[in-house]
Amino acid sequence: MVQTDINTPSRSYADKEPDWKLIETLLGGTRAMRKAARTYLPQEPAEDDASYRNRLERSVLFNAFKSTLTSMAGKPFKKQVTLKDPGLPQLEDYSYDVDMRGNNVTVFAHKCFRSLLAYGSTHILIDYPVVPEKSTLADARAMGARPYFVHLDATRVIGARVVYEGGMPILTMVRIRETYTVEQPDGNDQDFPQVRVLYPGRYEIWRQEAKRKKWTIAGRRRNRKATSI
């Protein structure tokens, strides 16, 4: 039996991963293709290493894929995206900065659509900042806490579990690859992998132990709505 851990992709993900690696390399341009070397530019049987390296360094990628992708992704967004019926007044305000990174709904939707065209699927997570325990809704609003969108391309979501209730698909678990940063005194901060596992009403953070290479839970939290005034 193959040993698995929380970072092991689902079978569906593993089937698509080789194609996604090609897409990522193409989007990286000439530098990425040269770095991939023999993966996409094989060495000829009678070609010695020095000759191959010389040919590799002279090879340039004509990135028709990236050019076509950019052109197609921009077509639906020649006009700004607008909310037909915001419903709640604050939704109109949210639309000017849907991800709390300064991107309005048009910019965010364009990014998601481009990722969809490239990888064949894409994901949007609706997240909410962590607020102190016993915070009221007024407290949360005073802190600027509000729902926001997070774009996750296909390579980030390594597994999901779905059940059907009344014919409708319901997500019961999602595994997302992330990174966390460890600050260093000299300023050369280091990034390490982690996996966030979402369940209805709660989530877990898993990180890999540096020495044992074992994945363990580094934190867990139940999702909680701010109480009303």
> Mean per-residue pLDDT for 192-204?
93
Residues 6+ apart with CB under 8 A from 117: 69, 72, 73
Average of per-residue pLDDT values in the chain: 90
Burial 179-197 (b: 16+ CB within 10 A, else e): eeeeeeeeeeeeeeebbbb
pTM score, whole prediction: 0.84
In this prediction, residue 221 has a pLDDT band, given cuts at 50, 70 and 90, of confident
Q: What pLDDT sits at residue 217?
A: 92
> Mean per-residue pLDDT for 25-34?
95
> Mean per-residue pLDDT for 101-110?
96
3-state DSSP percent of the chain in helix, strand and coil, to 5? 35, 30, 40
Residue 14: pLDDT over 70: yes
The answer to whether residues 91 and 85 touch, using CB atoms and an 8 Å cutoff, is no
In this prediction, residue 12 has a pLDDT band, given cuts at 50, 70 and 90, of very high
Distance CA(97)–CA(228), nearest Å, equals 24
Nearest to 225 by CA among 170, 146, 150: 146
147-190: per-residue pLDDT in tens? Answer: 999 999 999 999 999 999 999 999 999 999 999 888 888 888 88
In this prediction, residue 224 has a pLDDT band, given cuts at 50, 70 and 90, of low
Distance CA(64)–CA(101), nearest Å, equals 30
Q: What pLDDT sits at residue 3?
A: 52
Residue 138: pLDDT over 70: yes
45-72: per-residue pLDDT in tens? Answer: 999 999 999 999 999 999 999 999 999 9
The one-letter amino acid at 44: E
